[in-house]
Amino acid sequence: MTRIDGRAANELRNVTIERGWSDQAEGSALISFGRTKVLCTASFTNGVPRWLNGKGKGWVTAEYSMLPRSTNDRMDRESVKGKIGGRTHEISRLIGRSLRAVIDTKALGENTIVIDCDVLQADGGTRTAAITGAYVALADAIEWGRSKGFIGKNAKPIIDSVAAVSVGIIDGEPLLDLAYTEDVRAETDMNVVVTGRGLFVEVQGTAEGAPFDRRELDALLDLALGGAVDLTALQVATLAP
């Protein structure tokens, strides 16, 4: 099968990360997976939410949102509708869990980092792009906190890096990093979150069309782990001093 943009089955789209995009946030990254563009900002606050007070731990959380015309058809704003939809909730929670999986909240100290992932343009894979970019913003916010003395000089709040990628099966063939036109045709769709050391943080596979068997699942996981290696390398290069 030939992919619409001529990529190999195990090839990522062109991925770029513009570190420090924002003049305001303590950490930020504008990440692109092909035409998908997500602005990730990390807001550092000294102190924790009330329910964590006095436990000597920090907190990392995330919110995801799409601009109304990030998509091909304009969507109504969730602020106008007065409520957040299930998909948005689900993705915000996924990003938060993924980042917390590589954070030692004790080493972070009583500090809070809120990650905002706003999709400026969507062409498939927005949640995995968000996680991959959010890690860069988070890392910079932590260094900012260290530079201000909120985090100890030798504290290591970051245990590992984290990146994410989507994989799917189209016409029986497993493919890495689906663009939107591929995503809508996929029989099975899987988002995989992987640490820099190659361990799984999240595996979320869904049969959109036909249910899938163990062999297909294995092929998708192989593809995802391969893609994660490349994304990790890009994160490392981006964060290099």
Which range of residues in 41-49, 128-136, 148-156, 170-178 is near its own copies by CB under 8 A? 41-49
The answer to the question of residue 71 lying near its own copies (CB under 8 A) is yes
Q: Which residue do the tokens 């996981």 mark? A: 221
213 counts as binding its own copies under rule CB under 8 A: yes
Shortest spacing between CB 153 and its own copies, in angstroms: 26
- SS3 category, 154: coil
**CA 130 – CA 191 distance, rounded (Å):** 12
CA–CA gap between residue 37 and residue 24 (Å, rounded): 19
Question: Which residue of 11, 18, 78, 104 would you call a contact of its own copies, by CB under 8 A?
Answer: 78
Contact 99, 139 (CB under 8 A): no
For residue 160 the two structure tokens come to 């590992």
Nearest approach in angstroms of CB 240 to its own copies is 24
- Is 126 labelled as part of a ligand binding site? yes
18 strand-pairing partners: 30
Report DSSP state, residue 158.
B
**133 marked among binding-site residues:** no
207 binds its own copies (CB under 8 A): yes
The two structure tokens encoding residue 214: 């163990």
Written as six digits, the tokens of 240 are 């290099």
- Show contacts with its own copies in window 119-138 (CB under 8 A): 120-123
Does residue 157 belong to the site contacting its own copies (CB under 8 A)?
no
Residue 168 found at the interface with its own copies (CB under 8 A): no
63 binds its own copies (CB under 8 A): yes
Instruction: Report DSSP state, residue 180.
Output: H
Please answer whether residues 166 and 238 qualify as being in contact, where contact means their C-beta atoms are separated by less than 8 angstroms. Answer: no
Binding interface with its own copies (CB under 8 A): 22-25, 28, 35, 39, 41, 43, 45, 63, 65, 67-72, 74, 77-90, 92-93, 97, 101, 114, 116, 118, 120-123, 160, 190, 195, 197-207, 210-214, 217, 221
